[in-house]
């Protein structure tokens, strides 16, 4: 997979790709990584470049945003706990099955790069399957040292792309962000 560091700041529920939203604090912003879910394969034989083909295809691992946690902040915990529940508790005797069968929650999130004008945006980030086993709390250090929160992008509810890495103008136009209500 094409993994690349994307140092920048994360914002939950941004109004546009470049503005608004709640900044996610308590992370190592310069160590955020993005894996686009595309695998590059080189096939061929010999020393000549004409004997080789390069193919880019989806890999077995879906795209993911790897967020290294630095400490326990209220915004980071809010993000984590909201991704682990549907927001409604379960009642006894099966009278409320929303917690089991409900639509899993997701957050719109923008990663605004420190350098350049690229922004990574997805309208529905969800907890990645690999993330759960890496979240470990250290009682002595009061931080999530070495732990990572991994998020996977999902298509918007209106069927638009799961994620975009582009300029703010392109993202706003595609997802219709910041329009008049």
113 pLDDT exceeds 70? yes
Cα three-residue angle 75-78-82, rounded to 5 degrees? 150
pLDDT at 17 over 90: yes
Give the residue numbers spanning the domain of 18.
3-89+96-175
Does 162 score more than 50 pLDDT? Answer: yes
> Does residue 38 lie in a domain region?
yes
pLDDT at 181 over 90: no
- Give the other-Cβ count within 10 Å of 27's Cβ: 23
Instruction: Tell me whether residue 180 is in a domain.
Output: no
Q: What is the pLDDT of residue 132?
A: 57
User: Within 10 Å of residue 144's Cβ, how many Cβ atoms?
Assistant: 23
The CA radius of gyration of the chain, in Å to the nearest whole number, is 19
Can you point out the beta strands (E) in the chain? 3-5, 8-12, 22-23, 33-35, 38-44, 52-58, 64-68, 107-113, 119-127, 148-154, 164-166
What sign results for the dihedral spanned by CA atoms 26, 33, 121, 16? positive
Higher-scoring residue by pLDDT: 13, 69: 13
- 125 falls within a domain: yes
- Domain assignment present for residue 80? The answer is yes
The answer to whether residue 133 is domain-embedded is yes
Residue 73's pLDDT is what?
Answer: 67
Q: Is residue 181 part of a domain?
A: no
Per the structure, the count of domains in the chain is: 1
pTM recorded for the entire structure: 0.72
User: What average pLDDT score do residues 24-50 get?
Assistant: 79
Give the pLDDT band (50/70/90) at residue 85.
low
Q: Is residue 171 part of a domain?
A: yes
């Amino acid at each position: 997979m094409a993994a690349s560091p994307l140092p920048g700041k994360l914002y939950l529920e941004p109004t546009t790709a470049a503005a608004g939203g709640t900044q996610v604090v308590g992370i190592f912003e310069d160590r955020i990584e993005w894996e686009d879910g595309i695998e590059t394969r080189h096939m061929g034989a010999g020393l000549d470049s004409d004997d080789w083909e390069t193919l880019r295809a989806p890999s077995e691992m879906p795209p993911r945003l790897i967020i290294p946690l630095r400490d326990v902040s209220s915004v980071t915990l809010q993000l984590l706990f909201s991704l682990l529940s549907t927001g409604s508790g379960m009642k006894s005797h099966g009278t409320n099955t929303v917690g089991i069968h409900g639509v899993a929650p997701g957050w719109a999130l923008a990663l605004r790069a420190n350098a350049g004008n690229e922004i990574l945006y997805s309208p529905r980030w969800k907890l990645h399957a690999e993330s759960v086993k890496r979240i470990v709390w250290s009682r002595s250090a009061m931080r999530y040292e070495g732990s990572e929160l991994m998020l996977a992008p999902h298509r918007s509810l209106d069927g638009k792309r799961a994620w975009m890495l582009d300029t703010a103008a392109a993202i706003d136009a595609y997802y219709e962000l910041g329009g008049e209500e």
